[in-house]
Amino acid sequence: MGELTPGEREVRRGAVGELGEALRDLVDAAVRTEVPLDRLTEATGAARELTALLSADLREVHEIASVDDPETGERWYSPVYGPGSPVAPPMVVEDFPDEGRCVGRVTVPKKLEGPPGLVHGGVVATLLDHVLARSARGAGHGGLTATLTVTYRRPVHLGVPLVVIGQLVSVEGRRATATARLVAADDPDTTLAEGEALLVALRAERASEVFARTGRDVGAWTSRS
Ligand SMILES: CCCCC/C=C\C/C=C\C/C=C\C/C=C\CCCC(=O)SCCNC(=O)CCNC(=O)[C@H](O)C(C)(C)COP(=O)(O)OP(=O)(O)OC[C@H]1O[C@@H](n2cnc3c(N)ncnc32)[C@H](O)[C@@H]1OP(=O)(O)O
């Protein structure tokens, strides 16, 4: 699909979000179902039909989606916040760029379970990584995560509203550091997990190399100065 007009992109984004929500419901049912074997087999056939329907026009693996904005970094299939992603929890994030802060809200579903009833530790790291990078990006210091330290202080339960706060701490040349906390919405004083990251902005020429296969200008990961 070629580039969309702003109006077309808005309409398509709405449809992508609806499909994403339907697929997340499907994934949730798929990981929780205890229906008899014949029902499982029937569902497998229906799922394969759905795959054929969507596969009539597919992007290559490096191609950027028509609904995305590579300059601002809005990604509709992000595994963290993408409205179109079946694997995203998804987290809803509010940006406070003037304060170098962002606040994510998320209730983690069954598909992202680690120990029984608890959120997988890699998922906790992913949620922290996102708000860490995003707090810096919002304040104009887009970069890739160079180091990420996660401290798991308390078990994080599935199905509980969570708040994940990222805060940009310092910027020095292409390097930015940020910290993040994950808490339960109803107990904001108890830290469940915390993160710290070094984000390094790519030099412009390095960014052109790294993202060459997308065939697009990708500005959100480079130094903006
Ligand atoms: C959809 C609807 C809703 C709308 C949503 C709207 C908006 C959403 C927008 C945004 C979302 C925002 C953002 C968040 C998104 C995603 C977050 C995910 C982040 C990631 O998932 S990201 C992937 C994983 N990540 C990598 O894939 C990195 C691989 N890696 C490399 O690509 C290189 O390794 C690199 C680039 C890191 C460095 O490479 P390089 O060549 O530039 O490095 P170089 O040597 O020049 O270092 C430069 C200076 O950094 C220092 N430095 C470097 N590394 C260091 C280390 N480890 N420790 C300490 N210091 C270090 C040096 O010491 C030097 O410092 P100095 O300049 O002072 O000498």
User: Could you tell me if the CB of 6 is within 6 A of ligand 1?
Assistant: no
**Index of the ligand 1 atom closest to the CA of residue 78:** 1
User: Could you tell me if the CB of 200 is within 6 A of ligand 1?
Assistant: yes
- Provide the β-strand partners of residue 107: 161
**Contact by Cβ (8 Å): 185, 126:** no
CB atoms within 10 A of CB 67: 24
User: Could you tell me if the CB of 36 is within 6 A of ligand 1?
Assistant: no
Distance 174 CA to ligand 1 centre (A): 9
**3-state SS class at 142:** coil
Q: What residue spans define the domains of the chain?
A: 92-214
Q: What is the pLDDT of residue 1?
A: 66
The confidence band for 20, taking pLDDT boundaries of 50, 70 and 90, is very high
Hey, what are 19's tokens? 């499909």
The confidence band for 73, taking pLDDT boundaries of 50, 70 and 90, is confident
Instruction: Provide mean pLDDT across the span 93-120.
Output: 98
Give yes or no for residue 74 having a pLDDT over 70: yes
**3-state SS class at 152:** strand
Q: How far is CA 94 from the centre of its chain?
A: 13
The amino acid at 98: D
Model confidence over 169-186: pLDDT tens digits? 999 999 999 999 999 999
Query: Has domain 92-214 been given CATH number 3.10.129.10?
Result: yes
- Per-residue H/E/C for 5-44: CHHHHHHHHHHHHHHHHHHHHHHHHHHHCCCCHHHHHHHH
CA nearest 195: which of 142, 135, 139?
Answer: 135
CB atoms within 10 A of CB 146: 13
pTM of the prediction? 0.94
Give yes or no for residue 224 having a pLDDT over 70: no
Distance 146 CA to ligand 1 centre (A): 5
Give yes or no for residue 72 having a pLDDT over 90: no
Q: What is the pLDDT of residue 225?
A: 42
User: Could you tell me if the CB of 13 is within 6 A of ligand 1?
Assistant: no
The confidence band for 223, taking pLDDT boundaries of 50, 70 and 90, is low
Model confidence over 91-105: pLDDT tens digits? 999 999 999 999 999
Beta carbons within 8 Å of 184's beta carbon, 6+ residues apart: 157, 160, 161, 162, 163, 190, 192
